[in-house]
A = this chain, B = another copy of it.
Amino acid sequence: MRPHELPEVRHLALFRDMAQSNFDTLMQSAYAQTFPASLDLIRQGDPADFLHVVLEGTVELYAQWGGRECTMAVVRPVGTFILAACIRDAPYLMSARTLDRARIILVPASDLRAVFRRDPEFAVSVIHELAGCYRAVVRHAKGLKLRTSRERIASYLLRQSVLAGGVASYTLPVEKRLLASYLGMTPENLSRALKSLEEDGVKVDGSRVIITDRARLTELARPDRLIDGPDPDGAHAGASLPSAQG
């Protein structure tokens, strides 16, 4: 692991409050590795051996069933994934692959479980992290069940704008087919819906998003803190796609 990387990990909400000695223990058995783009990191169903921490690059969490697959979340630096499987010592529910070249730290799950049993501060951090992950997935499920495709797209586009500081224009952080899958629709459907949304205050040209009528878009998206976040206290940052992992 590189010298500047340790402080970055230590700065994460998950590792911030634990005793230094325990942090050192965790990191001694951990190792960092750089992976090329489009590489499979995890196959759903495999036993959970390592907590993953993304230092650079982007990782997609996706699920498969019966020959189909769908994107569940995207993890960006500095974020962790598959915490829950590690804790339960259970098989991964999701697969993971790199989208870009990515640098990732692998923390052995067994050490993780040992440390939160003897470091109360770390246990509390894990609790907060898990509660946050749980709430993120509940939000995602709410969006899928309560909103139509157009509404999900509108909400997503508006939320990205807000996360970027309320700007009227920005670029999409992911490919459209991935976005479509994340939002629970086909690429074709997304493409057509985006075109139709020009009448509702947002224009998308390539990966460039331009909000032409914020009021109109907001009216359609009806943003809701209980779906779109963030949690009021804001214990962890909102990634470009709500990083609903663990």
Contacts and interface: CB of A to CB of B under 8 A. Distances in A.
Q: Which 3 A-B pairs have the closest CB atoms?
A: A123-B123, A130-B130, A84-B131
Given A85-B135, A127-B123, A222 B66 contact: yes
A209 interface: no
Dominant SS among interface residues on chain A: helix
A9 to B, nearest CB: 20
Contacts of A65: 142, 146-147, 222, 224, 226-227
Contact of A94 (B128, B138, B184): B138
Contacts of A134: 84, 130, 133-134, 137, 246
Given A63-B146, A118-B120, 5 more contacts: A65-B222, A84-B130, A88-B131, A93-B138, A120-B120
Given A88-B233, A90-B233, A126-B127, A145 B144 contact: yes
A93 B45 contact: no
Contacts of A235: 88
A35 interface: no
A111 interface: no
B72 A142 contact: yes
A91 interface: yes
A1 interface: no
B88 A128 contact: yes
Given A226-B45, A231-B88, A233-B88, A93 B142 contact: yes
A87 B128 contact: yes
A70 B146 contact: yes
Given A135-B93, A137-B138, A63 B145 contact: yes
A72 B146 contact: no
A22 interface: no
A11 interface: no
A139 interface: yes
Interface in A83-133: 83-85, 87-91, 93-94, 116-118, 120, 123-124, 126-128, 130-133
Given A94-B138, A137-B137, A127 B132 contact: no
Given A89-B233, A90-B233, A127 B116 contact: yes
25 contacts: A45-B226, A63-B146, A65-B146, A65-B222, A68-B146, A70-B145, A84-B135, A87-B127, A88-B132, A89-B233, A90-B232, A90-B233, A93-B226, A116-B123, A116-B124, A116-B127, A117-B120, A117-B124, A118-B120, A120-B120, A123-B124, A127-B127, A130-B134, A131-B246, A133-B134
